Structure 1
Amino acid sequence: MGQDIDIDLTREGALAEADLPLAAAKLARMSTSEVTSTLWRCSLKRSAVLFRLLSKERALEVFERFEPAHQADLVRALRDEDVTGLFAGLDPDDRVSLLDEVPAVLAKRLLSDLTPHERALTTLMLGYPARSVGRRMSPEYVRAHPEFTAGRVLETVRHRATEAETIYMIPVTDGQKRLVGVVSLREILAAPEDARVSDLMQTPELATVSDDAEQVARRCSEANLLAMPIVDSEKRLVGILTIDDAHQILRDAEDEDIARAGGAEPLRRPYLSTSAFKIARARVVWLLVLAVSALLTVQVLGIFEATLEQKVVLALFIPLLTGTGGNTGSQAATTITRALAMGEVTSKDVGRVLLREFRVGTTLGLLLGILGFTLASLVYDVPTGLVIGSTLLCVCAMAATVGGAMPLIAKAIRVDPAVFSTPFITTFCDATGLLIYFSLAKVILGI
């Protein structure tokens, strides 16, 4: 079997029948992380072939580590019998994420293959709003009653340990299943067997099932909780959000913001297994928006065509000024978007943010303006240098102020700041920057 060392599992092309035993042997010697990474780098067709070579237990472990979008692609590439077993083995919250990515016909078939109990849990979570924590929580948990003893709680934990999402944080509920507290497994283990849960429990940090998942995940992470109880409008316990799920929600949100800040939609699947058409589709919307916005810049240039003819050198500085304005606005927008995500500012702070960003932009513009004035004066003449310097000052102040305001405005109108800010700032700063530039040039140069 030493020959299997030479097989390249990620190589493009079909696997010959003789290669399959070698590939299976190599996969068997790899860790789960290594197998996941290998399949992540393969084309979708090759990934499906290698996936079938894994044992049932290993296949489920690897499948759970994939993004929901990639899971959906893999489900379409696998045989029906492979898919049924995989789907049934997932936790309810993972099933919901996968069902959001597959066609409705396939989703209905996958649900019909579940046991009545698992189908009920999954269907219940599907009924919550798309971005709510109810779609990301786990309905499988261990709970206790205030009158339980520590010994009885330990018996319950032993009985439910394999099916519960976590056993380290135990919600405490009354007879109507209303949350009244939480107790940690450490406290249960350290207490005498006859100690009452009511004497050990603490006031819970909780969230409502309809709350935004990202906000709840951030609260869970910042409070260093192992899990957070999730309740309905009547404070009845419906699930828990574990810290690993909270971190995954935050990672997904960060990936989305980074992609959109770069003018694209997140792929949510491996690059090498994503078709060129899907990659293009993730980018084309933003390119179209920016292309249309560029027409406004062209219109501004047309208005000042006579000014350019009298002072052709002004055209040389257009890329510098528009680029500086766009970059300054993007920096401000990125800073405020992060501050919003971290809860450092809210939409009510728009006045304070505008004033602060205006001061920051003015400071940056003053520094860049002095540099621009000096260089343009040395290379061309002092009036030209004065135009460049004053324009940089005005553009930076304007761009920073607008860039700081956009995420707050987006939040106020319930639009993703990362989606709204980038195209608007690019369009606004380019067009407005040119208006400022040519207006100052006409006044200073007298043209």
Structure 2
Amino acid sequence: MTRHLILGQTLAFAADPFSAPLEVAAQHHRRGAVLIDAGRIAAVGQADDLKAEFPDVATTDYGDGLISAGFVDAHMHYPQTAIIASWGKRLIDWLNLYTFPEEMRFADPAYATEIAGRCLDLNLAHGTTTVASYCTIHPGSVDAIFEAAAARDMRIVAGKTCMDRDTAPDRLRDTAQGAYDDSRALIERWHDKGRASYAITPRFSPTSTVAQLEALGALWAEHPSCLMQTHLSEQTDEIEWVRGLYPEARDYLDTYEAYGLLGERGVYGHAIHLEEREKARLSEVGAGLVHCPTSNTFIGSGLFDMAGLKGAGQRVGLATDTGGGSSFSMLRTMAAAYEVGQLHGTALHPAQLWWLATEGSAQVLHMQGRIGALRAGAEADLVILDLGSTPAIAQRAAQANDIWDAIFPTIMMGDDRAVQAVWLNGAPCQSAGSARIST
């Protein structure tokens, strides 16, 4: 693979803008450049400096386009792609009315393959270059998403969703031993192969028996380099459901902790209604929490306390939660996070929103410095954005006083029309739009 230089505005982070001053955390070059070499970022700097240092390198010029690390969606359900934006109901009803009937269709490998490809293409169209996805109980659904990602040279985290309790439909139940055996075989087939990582995936404690949680906890202990993803404290009625199923548990988190499913590489979706003991234990082990704002408002779950949790040092990422979430776009997800923050009494800065959608989610997935970062050594997964993609956005951005003033209208009103190009592993994967390519 040859070197390639791409030009435009660049936005990178040297620190977490929740804990460092903005002038320290963020790095913006009005006329910047990114040098790509063998699928990785070799250098980021001023365009004139890098052009002078590498005069004979093939160049793509995106003009005023904003070059950023590709977005990282830290929690989604690719099998729910076709039912996104289904009307009404809260979590348990939504699962029974829409999710479970759709997931039954994934017993058909051809259907799983169709939806896996559709889901990843929709994500790429919105500038998302890494997803962490739940699959269904069917091993073929896991193979389908990993194969689709490999075909696109896309980084992927995924795992077989495990459910053996009679709270799930008959056709979507496995067993404790079957979940262990299937997951172990899938780990051996996919984990750390190419750009794939495996996440051991109990859906949530209401759909797993104690025996299954114990089996998956044992599997995680045997394969500690895997992630473990599940749901935690999404809705108040869900928490009451958990209390009824696990009367001996101290709290919701304890239903995982008691069976070996609490750890640093654990990724816990939603985490809205946490008790103080839960917050303390999650912080103590360094686990990851994932904010899913469009989902939380769409099905009426509640308001995630971003300021409080980040202020307490929690590791937090951002996600669409497709299809409980109502958009594939991480721009729309950032906008919803801003709106939730406002309702919670804290206005998140554009830098904080952008960091959550890139570096923050990468940290939650234990891939910091590898994805979600515009810096030397990171994998060259990039999104290039037009900050004037619609007339409404353009007229507001034209009045911007700084880069954040220019970015914020795209966060609040942008969609896939803002995406000029996406690069995966150092190669363009869709039209370069208005870019000028020269050699």
Q: Same fold (TM over 0.5)?
A: no
**Structure-2-length-normalised TM-score:** 0.25
**Structure-1-length-normalised TM-score:** 0.25
- Larger CA Rg, structure 1 vs 2: 1
Does 1 or 2 have the higher relative contact order (CA < 8 Å, sep 6+)? 2
**Going by fraction, where is helix more abundant, 1 or 2?**
1
**Going by fraction, where is strand more abundant, 1 or 2?**
2
